[in-house]
Amino acid sequence: MACAAFVAQSGARVLVVEKQDTVGGSSNYSAGMFWAPQTYDKLRSWVPDGGPELQRAWLNEYLPAVQWMRENQVPIAERFDGIMTIGIGFPIQIPHLHSLHRKRIESSKTGSDIWTNTSIVKLIQESPCAPGSRINGAIVRRVQSSGRSTPYVTYGGINIDKQGHALTADKTIIPELLVAGVDAGGFSNLGYAGGLALAFVMAFGQRERWHENWDSRYRVFQCRMQEMLRLSQTRGVCDAVSIVIRNLFLSSTN
């Protein structure tokens, strides 16, 4: 959460995926205490990617630092009998920190978001099955309030044509797959805002409606998008989205 909040505030678009209904997991029950390793070798085995010199310095200087605090009468909180050998120094309210991080993420100017009740189905590698290959996307499954789960794909670096179809590496259209999103730098693909595109793809492109008459439905979708752009000039974006999505559902059920 801290890392996601930092990069969201720094200008990146972030999506935090949490499989439970609240973020934080077991850290919500933590008092902010950290269990220190007994030896340098154990520390290295647990955190092999850390800086060896910094890890050794931290491990060697931790207890002397505690002793220094005692000798200099640094104010600390009172100890809990039978639990701790030194006061906590300062209390850490983990759930409170999570709520602050959440506000920073959701209030960022990049459109960052947090999805709860969402699990990872598959990670997508730049070079599938290649050791060390960069992860550049993920397929997740999100349980909506209705109790139904909806698959989403979040991805980067995909090829698309001017109509928003996703393409394979050899430029072949992937059937029934439209792309909605915002390109890096804040420019939207297809000439309209990525969030609005996603709303339309979700509203119009429910999988069970893609099996029949897809071409004719897609033409309706294109017309509705033009209608939304026209309405947004006079009614505002929010009203335009509400009107067009309502009309879209009505036309798809007739």
Q: If pLDDT is split at 50, 70 and 90, which confidence band does 113 have?
A: very high
3-state helix, strand, coil in the chain (%, to 5): 45, 15, 40
> Chain-wide mean pLDDT for the chain?
67
Cα separation, 107 vs 8, whole angstroms? 9
Q: Which residues pair with 244 in a beta bridge?
A: none
Q: Where are the beta strands (DSSP E) in the chain?
A: 15-17, 113-115, 118-125, 135-143, 149-155, 159-160, 165-167, 173-178
| Amino acid residing at 51 | G
State pLDDT tens for residues 191-250. Answer: 434 444 444 444 444 433 444 444 444 444 445 455 555 554 555 444 444 454 455 445
Q: Report the percentage of the chain scoring pLDDT > 90.
A: 4
Q: Secondary structure of 43-103 in the HEC alphabet?
A: HHHHCCCCCHHHHHHHHHHHHHHHHHHHHCCCCCCCCCCCCCCCCCCCCCCHHHHHHHHHH
Mean pLDDT of 54-79: 83
Structure tokens at 136: 């550049």
pLDDT at 84 over 60: no
- Decide if 98 contacts 106 (C-beta within 8 A): no
Q: What is the pLDDT of residue 233?
A: 53
Lowest mean pLDDT: which of 2-6, 106-110, 137-141, 163-167?
163-167
- Averaged over 41-51, what is the pLDDT? 86
Taking the whole predicted model, whether its pTM rises above 0.75 is answered as: no
Query: pLDDT at position 20, please?
Result: 83
